Amino acid sequence: MDPCHRAAHRTAGVRRSRPGEPQAGRDAAAALWRAAGITNPIDEIDAAEIYVPFSWFEPMWLENLGFVAEGEGWKLTEAGETAIGGRLPVNPSGGVLCSNPIGASGLIRFAEAAIQVMGKGGDHQVPNARKAMGHAYGGGSQYYSMWVVGSGKPVTP
């Protein structure tokens, strides 16, 4: 395990067919799931540390990253399924809503994903977390990095 993927896109509003849609994020997530051998992310990821600087970003990223279909992200959040005891715990650390040191925020998402699969999350530990996803983005919704970490040793081909 431990695949990662990055993608970039034009800044929002600059010659994009759908300026508000972060297509590079969708593309990076699809490539990440393929590289990790994940076919159903919502059932195969135990925790997700996603860059959510404002509350409305969570449902958007759930859709963009392929956890749920477009228009369905808010339902997962509203039902409590993204809480620590839910189907897909999102940001058990508190995420960037809790603390957002620009520049380090993306690295912290990676560290928090790793902390989950190592079982060292303390009060914010997701029980039995074996696979976790980390996500970061920047620019005008144009730069994306994401990764999957696992509790097992990486398999070398």
Choose between 150 and 18: higher pLDDT: 150
Give the predicted TM-score (pTM) of the model: 0.86
Q: Residues with Cβ < 8 Å from 81, sequence gap 6 or more?
A: 87, 88
Integer CA distances (angstroms), 141 to 9, 10, 14, 68, 84, in order: 8, 8, 11, 20, 27
Q: Residues with Cβ < 8 Å from 134, sequence gap 6 or more?
A: 48, 49, 106, 109, 110, 112, 113, 114, 146, 147, 149
pLDDT in tens, 15-66: 545 555 677 888 889 989 998 899 999 999 999 999 998 999 999 999 999 9
Identity of residue 48: A
| Structural domains for the chain | 4-150 (3.40.47.10)
pLDDT (mean) for 91-103: 88
d(CA 73, CA 78): 9
Identity of residue 26: R
pLDDT in tens, 108-149: 999 999 999 999 999 999 999 999 999 988 776 677 888 999
